[in-house]
Amino acid sequence: MKNIAVWGFSWVPAFAHGLVRDLRVRWALEEAGLAYESRWIDPAQRHSPAYRRKHPFGLVPAVEADGATLVESGAIVYAVAEQSPALLPAERRIETLTWMFSALNTVEPPLWNLFVIDRLHGDEPWAALRRPGAVEEARARLAALADTLDGREYLLDRFGAADILMVTALRFVRHTALVAEFPSLDDYVKRCEARPAFQAALRNQLAGYMRHAPAAA
Ligand SMILES: N[C@@H](CCC(=O)N[C@@H](CS)C(=O)NCC(=O)O)C(=O)O
């Protein structure tokens, strides 16, 4: 992959800082040692014809590389991992892919659901009714994941692409104490977030928001 540009939103509210899914793409690129530039789309322009030509659903992230445009954060992390034996070791390929899919399809949905209830609809009457069930669904998924991670540093025997997707999914409930209920999970998230590549990715995402922040009234 060459001439890589990562598209993220130019600005999001503070509760979404460090959660928008271009973070996982930046993290993978940093881990793989691939240089990239940042491009910022104003959220109000995400359905403009120009941006929809990059992303059919008007979402972020999108990545331009080698003259092509990639979308879907999981697919982009996979494409980056293909360039990096450290992220996707040949001998652990299927297990890595299995955990990448688990992060996106099994763990992320209940956590994202809770994030949407709390952060996007918290003031609506139905949110209070739906929340307890959503918390239990999230907790059950986290409990099972915590069992898997008990005694392990990473999902597989070393850090890889699946951990990038899993940790960025777990961050969706950082506004709750759910992850902290499970010491093996809490340690896992902290261990992964301490990686210099994660810190660089986060810095790059936040720098974009700071640069484009609306002027104070
Ligand atoms: N499955 C997609 C989801 C992308 C997605 O929902 N991105 C959010 C930001 S994290 C977005 O663009 N939201 C704007 C919207 O929903 O209109 C992926 O993983 O790339």
Question: CB-based contacts of 82: which residues, under 8 Å, 6+ apart?
Answer: 88
In the predicted model, residues of the chain with pLDDT beneath 70 are 215-217
Cα–Cα–Cα angle for 30, 34, 38, rounded to 5 degrees = 75
pLDDT at 216: 60
Q: Whose CA is nearest to atom 5 of ligand 1?
A: 59
DSSP label at residue 104: I
Rounded CA separation 39/107 (Å): 29
Cα–Cα distance measured from residue 140 to residue 33, given in angstroms and rounded to the nearest whole number: 36
Within the chain, strands assigned E span 4-9, 36-41, 62-65, 68-71
pTM: 0.97
Fold adopted by 4-86+197-212: Glutaredoxin (3.40.30)
* Domain spans, the chain: 4-86+197-212, 90-195
Return the best residue to mutate from 9, 11, 19, 21 for the ligand 1 pocket (most ligand atoms within 8 A of CB): 21
Within 6 A (CB) of ligand 1 lie 20-21, 46, 59-61, 72-74
d(CA 55, CA 112): 21
Alpha carbons 126 and 130: distance in angstroms, whole number: 6
pLDDT of residue 217: 54
* Location of structure tokens 């008990």: 150
- The protein residue whose alpha carbon is closest to atom 16 in ligand 1 is 59
Span from the CA of 58 to the centroid of ligand 1 (angstroms): 8
Class of domain 90-195: mainly alpha
Q: Which residue has the tokens 């003031």?
A: 123
- Cis peptide leading into 110, omega within 30 of 0? no
Which ligand 1 atom sits nearest the alpha carbon of residue 76?
20
Name the residue at shortest CA distance from atom 14 of ligand 1.
59
